[in-house]
Amino acid sequence: MSMELSILLSMIIPAVGAVLIALTGKIPNVRETVTLFTAVALFLNVLSLLGPVLDGATPEITLIEMVPGLSIAFKVEPLGMMFSLIASGLWILNSIYSIGYMRGNKEKHQTRFYICFAVAIAATLGLAYSANLLTLFIFYEVLTFSTYPLVSHKGDENAVKGARTYLGILVTTSVGFLFFAIAWTFSATGTLDFVNGGILGGKVEGPLMGLLLMLFIYGIGKAAVMPVHRWLPAAMVAPTPVSALLHAVAVVKSGVFSVVKVIVYTFGIDNLVASGSAGWLVWVSGFTIIAASMVALRQDNLKRRLAYSTISQLSYVVLAAAILTPISAVGAALHIAAHAFGKITLFFAAGSIYTAAHKTEVSQLNGIGWKMPITMTAFAIGALSMIGLPPTAGFISKWYIIQGAMSSENFLALGVIVLSTLLNAGYFLPIIYAAFFKKEKAAKHGHDGHHDHHHGDHGEAPLPIVIAISSTALLTILMFFFPDIALELAQKMIGGAQ
């Protein structure tokens, strides 16, 4: 099988999967088998590209050229390889989890859910492999629109409102700023390709380059740099598997992935250093890290707390890229992976608690660790990774980012990282402490009959959920001990960029 075919298959497999899911929607068992089968097939397909890419190949294919210079083209470079591996790999686990969650909660419209999920994954892979800004933009938008039905899944007023905020912010920023920036780039350079070392060198000067960078950063609303972060908490109305895979991995990572790609391949690190127009980004992302952590501290709703944590962690990646040293760029790439494993675990845990105990608030979690030991252990592992403590993946990436900050003597960035680490500990450790060491509060009766029914007599979540959550927790730890592949890919990325 040629590599070009594998690239296309990465989008075709989930797309075909979506069609098959639609056709088999009437029979849930078949439908879910199709989902799982598609996810595994996709992962194997993506995996087949890993070997060649590690060997230094960058397979590429141009699908359509609409106007000279404007084309739909794909190219697998190391960063995209890593991203696609994460997304497709976690899709398998997430599908297993979804089955447990959707059935456990008796959700409606399950077929639509699986279809949109498959489409979103197809879009994510398209984005990961995009060879130019236009292709990236297209898949970025497909991803936005295909996730709308997932966010508004519940269909009640609250869900629709949240989904509209989600869509509104992402579309406005991407069309208004990102597309504008792309058009500007094209008119300045005549190309949109991702090229090692960037394409803007000498084409756009000093302050204008800063403005263009700003358009890109805020245009990529999915990176959730403040103040365009509001969509992420709004999207938490979605069912938890959506929050887990999409709003902790696929969608938000598409954002920071795009930011890293734009900084490395469109601007070029050296060009940005030379023009000195990226200094503001350190401030903005630093501010986002701290501010989002502060907000997270005060959230009682578990998913919202996780959402703000995500915002802060995303800005780690942006910050790492903005430090503009090769080693911090490695950190950025690693953090995409590390945060993915950790955050999906945390969301899985939140969904697991919701399914088994129907609890959504942090203050309800006292003593839950003894009823749901696996879930809460996994949660603890994820939380450690967020804080950046060994033996979890978060430590590795944070290590590289700090190294980068030291090497460029960027003490602002260093300070932000130290402070935010404390804040992270501040909003995660109390949850773990309460779950294991506090006594459960007396039940509040009369609030909701449904809740009471489960109250006190729940155990661990359904089996598929437990399988999924232990796998991701395990991955978080494994990445600490075996970071080789991720590290190699990340170093290839900057190796090429220099």
Query: Would you tell me which residues interact with other proteins (CB under 8 A)?
Result: 64, 66-67, 70, 72, 134, 137-138, 141, 149, 152, 155, 160, 167, 171-172, 175-176, 179-180, 183-184, 186-187
Residues in the chain: 498
Rounded least distance, CB 147 to other proteins, Å: 13
Closest CA to 298 of 238, 383, 361: 361
Q: Quote the least distance from Cβ 187 to other proteins, whole Å.
A: 4
CA 220, CA 175: separation in Å to the nearest integer? Answer: 10
* Shortest reach from residue 141's CB to other proteins, in Å: 7
- Identity of the residue, 84 or 173, whose beta carbon is nearer to other proteins in the bound complex: 173
Nearer to other proteins, 66 or 442 (CB): 66
- Find the helix or strand (DSSP H, E) in which 82 lies: helix 78-104
Rounded to the nearest whole angstrom, what is the least distance from the CB of residue 174 to other proteins in the complex? 10
Task: Work out how close the CB of 168 gets to other proteins at its nearest, in angstroms, rounded to a whole number.
Answer: 9
Q: Which is nearer to other proteins, 131 or 468 (CB)?
A: 131
**Torsion from C-alpha of 237, 156, 140, 11, nearest 10 degrees:** 100
* Shortest Å distance, C-beta 237 to other proteins: 14
Q: Measured from the CB atom, is 246 or 249 closer to other proteins? A: 246
**Cβ-based nearer residue to other proteins, 183 or 443:** 183
**How many other CB atoms are found less than 10 A from the CB of residue 190?**
11
Burial class (CB in 10 A: 0-12, 13-18, 19+), 409: exposed
Written as six digits, the tokens of 227 are 């103040």
Bridge partner residues of 72 (DSSP)? 64
Cβ closest to other proteins, residue 208 vs residue 485 = 208
Q: Are 78 and 53 in contact (CB under 8 A)?
A: yes
Q: Give me the least distance between CB of 171 and other proteins, in Å please.
A: 6
Shortest Cβ distance from residue 230 to other proteins (Å)? 17
Which residue do the tokens 């200094």 mark?
A: 279
- DSSP for residue 483: -
Tokens of 420: 């935010």
CA distance 453 to 105: 14
Identity (one letter) of the amino acid at 159?
A
Q: ∠ CA 185-167-175 to the nearest 5 degrees?
A: 20
- Residue 152: Cβ-neighbour burial (10 angstroms; 0-12, 13-18, 19+): buried
Q: Round to whole Å and give the CA distance between 212 and 267.
A: 10
Q: Which is nearer to other proteins, 218 or 341 (CB)?
A: 218
- Nearest residue (CB) to other proteins, 163 versus 333: 163
